[in-house]
Amino acid sequence: MPHIKPILAALKRHKAGTILIALQIALTLAIVCNALFIIQQRVTRLSRPTGMDESNLVAIQNRWVGVTDAAAAGVLTRADVLALRQMPGVQDAVQVNAFPLRGGGWSTGVRVDVDGKKPIAHTTQYFMDEHALATMGVKLIAGRNFRADEVVTTDPDKIQTSPQAIVSKALADKLYPDGSALGKPIYLGDDRTPSTVIGVVERLQVPWGAAWTDDFAENSVILPVQLTGNFSTYLIRAKPGQQAELVKAAPAMLTKLNRLRVITGDRGVRTFEVVREQAYKSDRGLAILMGVICLILLAITAAGIVGLTSFWVGQRRKQIGVRRALGATKHDILSYFLTENLMIGIAGVVIGALMAVGLNLWMVTQFEMARLSMAYVAAGVIALLLLGQAAVLAPAMRAAKVPPVEATRSV
Amino acid sequence: MLKMTHLAKVYRTEVVETYALRDFNIDVKEGEFVAVTGPSGSGKTTFLTIAGLLETFSGGQYHLDGIEVSQLNDNARSKIRNEKIGFIFQAFNLIPDLNVFDNVEVPLRYRGMKAAERKQRIMDALERVGLASRAKHYPAELSGGQQQRVAIARALAGSPRLLLADEPTGNLDTQMARGVMELLEEIHREGATIVMVTHDPELAARAQRNVHIIDGQVVDLAEDPRFHHAVHEARTGTPA
C-alpha cells in the first residue's frame, strides 16, 4: 500500500500544478455529468414511440390551388382520400389535421368537471374519421372505434363539440386515474358540452417532439371530425413492403386525379422515418454536439494529467532513482504515481460533484431543466477517476523504469 | 561481508566495448572501514554502484553478506538495498519535498515497518547525528553539513549491514567535512562496516584500510607503475 502522508506532503509543495489539475477534473466532471444527462434526455425523447405503425406510414401535405370555397375543397379532399384507399399497396388512408411529430397541431386543456376552472391535463386534438385507428396502426385497448355516421365534416372556424372522443391511455389515466375513463365525459377547452370517451388507445404521441411537450407527450384526443380548407394532410398506411413504392405512386396518382394542387418537394411526401428524422433534427444535433464537447473535455483532461505527470516524472527523475536506491521496487514507484493521481482525482471529483449539482440547479431554475440524477454524478466520478488512472499509467510506468543508479548521477 | 571475485563491468555500444571494471577483486570484512581511492575514471563509482546493487555487472561473482547477488531479480535486489545497505551520496540526495523526519522515514516505509517503530528509529537516528531538533525542517532550510548528517541518519535508521559512502564530504567545506568524517568514524567504532569512495587522500588515510583502483582494477600501489604515473600526473599536470 502506497504511503499517503508523504505523497500529501509532496503535493503541498507543488500546489499550483495540483490545484490546476484538480480544478480541471472538477470542471470536466461538472460539465460532462450535465451534458450526459442532457444527452440522455434527448436520446430518450428521440426514441420515444409514437404508438403508430411507423415503418409503413407515408404522410402527404397537399395545398389546393384556385379553390377558394372551403366546402368545395372538402369535397376534393374527400375524393383524394377515397382514391388513396383504392390504391394497390395501401392498407388504409385518412385525412388528418395533424399527426405525431408533424411539428404543428392543435392543443387545449381538458377538464372532467363542467364547472372546473383549471384543466386537469393538456392534450392535443386530432381530427380524423373512422379510418384513423386502422391507418395509424394504433392499438385500441378499450371501447370502440368511431362509426362512419358519427364523423362530421366542418370548416375549422365552425367546429362544434364532438359527442364522441377516443383518448390515449396516458390522457385517460390522467383524467380518470381509477381507470374508468370509458363512457365518461371530458370537456375540451372552454366547452361546456361534454365529449364522451368511447375508446382508449394504447399510445398516441402529440405532434411535437420538443421538450416543452414532455408533460403531455402522450395526451391525445381523436375527434370524429373532418376539416375542410385549402390545406389537406393525408396519412397513408402501406401494406408491408409497399411504402417505398407508395412514396412515388401516391402523389402521382393524386396529381393525375386533380391537377389543382401543390405537393411541395421537401415536406410534401414523406415516409414516417423522414418525419421522425426532421422532428428530432435539433435534438440529435445537440446530443452529438454535447457528446463531442464531452469527448474533447475528457481528452484535454487526460492530456493535462499525462502532461503534468510526465513533467513531474522528468523533474523527479533523480528523486525516483534515490527512492529506488533506498529500496523502492518498480511497483512502489508505479503505485506512488497512481496514488498521487488518485488523490488529486479524488479532490477534483469531490469539488466536481458539488459543481455538477450546482450547475444543474442553476439550469433547473434558469431553463426548467430536469434535476440531475445522482447516478450520473456517481458514474462521472468513477469515469473520471478511471480516466485519471489510465492517463497516468504511461508516465508512471516510465517512472518505474528509472534505474536506481540514477541516484548517483549528477543532474 | 562484501566479496567481489574476477568481477567485470563492460559498457557496450555498437562499435566499442569499454571495461569499467576488469578482473576486479575485493574482500571487505565485517566491521572494516575501507576507503576506495583512485583517479577520475578509474572505476571507483562503478564499483560503488555495483556494490550497492544499483547496477548489474557483466561477469565474475559478487557475494554480499553471504548472498551471491548476480542471479537476483529486481525485487530481491531492492529488498537487499533496503535492508542490508545504507547509502551516503556526495550530493546528499535528500528529497526536497519531504521534511527531515519524512526523508529519514523513506527506506523504513519501503520495509513495511510499523509507524511506532519507524518513529522510534527515525528519532534515534536523528539524535545520533545531532539533528533531532530539526525533524520538521526541509532540506533547503539546512546547511550542507546538516543535510549530509540527515542523509547519514537515513542510512543508519534501517540498521544496515553495510554503509556505502560516495565522496561523502565532496560537497562540504573543510569544517563540515571534518564533522561528517568524525561521525563516520564514530559509527565505525560502534561496529559498522563502511566502504567509502573518496578522492581525498587525507580522508582515505583516516580509514582502516585503503583500496586503490586504477583502470578498473584493484592495484597494489607499491608495485604498480600506473600509480606512480598517476601521482606524477596529479602533481605536475603532465603525463609521466
Query: What is the reported pLDDT for A2?
Result: 52
Question: What's the pLDDT score for residue A120?
Answer: 92
A330 at the B interface (CB within 8 A)? Answer: yes
Q: Which three cell numbers stand for residue A147?
A: 362509426
Average pLDDT (A289-315) is: 92
Long-range contacts of A347-351 (CB under 8 A, 24+ apart): A347/A18, A347/A22, A348/A21, A348/A22, A348/A23, A348/A24, A348/A25, A348/A26, A348/A29, A348/A384, A348/A388, A349/A25, A349/A26, A349/A29, A349/A380, A349/A381, A349/A384, A349/A385, A351/A22, A351/A23, A351/A26
Number of CB pairs < 8 Å for A and B? 83
Q: What is the least distance, in Å, from the CA of B55 to any CA of chain A?
A: 6
Q: Residue for cell digits 468513477?
A: A382
Longest dimension (CA), chain B: 59
pLDDT, residue A159, reads: 84
Instruction: State the nearest Cα–Cα gap between A284 and chain B, in angstroms.
Output: 51
Residue B222 above 80 pLDDT?
no
Q: Mention the CATH class of domain B28-53+73-236.
A: alpha beta
Share of residues in chain A with pLDDT > 90 (%): 75
pLDDT confidence of residue B223: 57
Give me the pLDDT at residue B228, please. Answer: 60
pLDDT of residue B161: 87
Q: Residue A55 gets which letter from DSSP?
A: G
Q: Give the span between the Cα atoms of B152 and B86, in whole angstroms.
A: 8
* pLDDT at position B43 over 80: yes
In angstroms, the CA A248 to CA B175 distance is 103
Question: Which residues neighbour A259 within 8 Å (Cβ) at sequence distance 6 or greater?
Answer: none
Interface test with B, best of A7, A15, A317, A322 (most B CBs within 10 A): A322
* Cβ atoms within 10 Å of A274's Cβ, excluding its own: 15
CB contact under 8 A, B106 and A325: no
Q: Is A321's pLDDT higher than 80?
A: yes
List CB contacts of A105: < 8 A, sequence separation 6 or more: A97, A98, A99, A124, A125, A126, A206, A207, A208
Q: How many whole angstroms separate alpha carbon A218 and alpha carbon A104?
A: 15
Strands A231-238 and A90-96, sheet pairing: antiparallel
The answer to whether residues A181 and A167 touch, using CB atoms and an 8 Å cutoff, is: yes
Sort out which chain A residues have CB atoms less than 8 A from B167's CB and list them: none
pLDDT at position A4:
85
pLDDT surpassing 70 at residue B232? no
DSSP A216: G
Query: In chain A, what is the greatest distance between 2 CA atoms, to the nearest angstrom?
Result: 101
Which is more confident, A116 or B50? B50
Can you tell me the distance from the alpha carbon of B224 to that of B235, in angstroms, rounded to the nearest whole number?
17
ipTM of the complex: 0.90
pLDDT level of residue A102 (50, 70, 90 thresholds): very high
Query: Over 70: is that where the pLDDT of A400 sits?
Result: yes
Q: What is the mean pLDDT of residues A301-311?
A: 92
Local structure of B21: helix, strand or coil: strand
- pLDDT band at residue B227 using 50, 70 and 90 as cut-offs: low
**A292: pLDDT confidence band, cut at 50, 70 and 90?**
very high
Query: Parallel, antiparallel, or unpaired for β B209-214 and B33-37?
Result: parallel
State the average pLDDT over residues A290-296: 93
Q: Is A332 on the interface with B (CB under 8 A)?
A: yes
Q: B77-94 burial, b if ≥16 CB within 10 A, otherwise e?
A: bbbbbbbbbbbbbbbbbb
* A137 pLDDT tier (thresholds 50, 70, 90): very high
pLDDT category at B226 given cuts 50, 70, 90 is: low
What is the reported pLDDT for A214? 84
User: What is the C-alpha to C-alpha distance for residues B214 and B22, in angstroms, rounded to an integer?
Assistant: 10
CB-CB contact of B201 with B37 (8 Å): yes
Cβ–Cβ < 8 Å for B221, B42? no
β-strands A220-227, A121-128 pairing: parallel
pLDDT at A286 over 60: yes
pLDDT higher at A221 or B184: A221
Burial class (CB in 10 A: 0-12, 13-18, 19+), A29: buried
Does residue B197 have a pLDDT over 90? yes
Q: Check B78 against A327: CB less than 8 A apart.
A: yes
Per-residue pLDDT, averaged over B75-97, amounts to 93
The Cα–Cα gap between A211 and A139 comes to 25
Determine the residue of chain B that is closest to A331 in CA distance: B75
Question: Cα torsion at A210, A216, A218, A224 (round to 10°)?
Answer: -110
Q: pLDDT of A343-381, one tens digit each?
A: 999 999 999 999 999 999 998 888 877 888 899 999 999
Could you state, in order of their start, the residue ranges of all structural domains in chain B? 28-53+73-236
Would you give the DSSP letter of residue B129?
A: T
Give pLDDT, residue A271.
Answer: 95
CA atoms within 13 A on the CB side of A387: 26
Q: What does the pLDDT average to over A334-340?
A: 94
| CB contact at 8 A, B58 and A372 | no
Cα-to-chain-centroid distance, residue B22: 20
Q: For residue A66, what pLDDT band results from cuts at 50, 70 and 90?
A: confident
* Partner-chain residue, chosen from B53, B74, B95, that has the shortest CB–CB distance to A329: B74
Please answer yes or no on whether B99 and A9 come within 8 Å at the CB atom: yes
Distance CA(A90)–CA(A106), nearest Å, equals 27
Residue whose grid cell is 464537447: A293
Per-residue pLDDT tens over the stretch A219-252? 999 999 999 988 999 999 999 999 999 999 999 9
- For B75, other C-beta atoms within 10 Å of its C-beta total 12
The 3-state DSSP class for residue A220 equals strand
Q: Write the CB contacts of A370 (distance below 8 Å, at least 6 apart in sequence).
A: A37, A41, A364
Q: CA-CA distance, B178 to B126, in Å (whole number)? A: 19
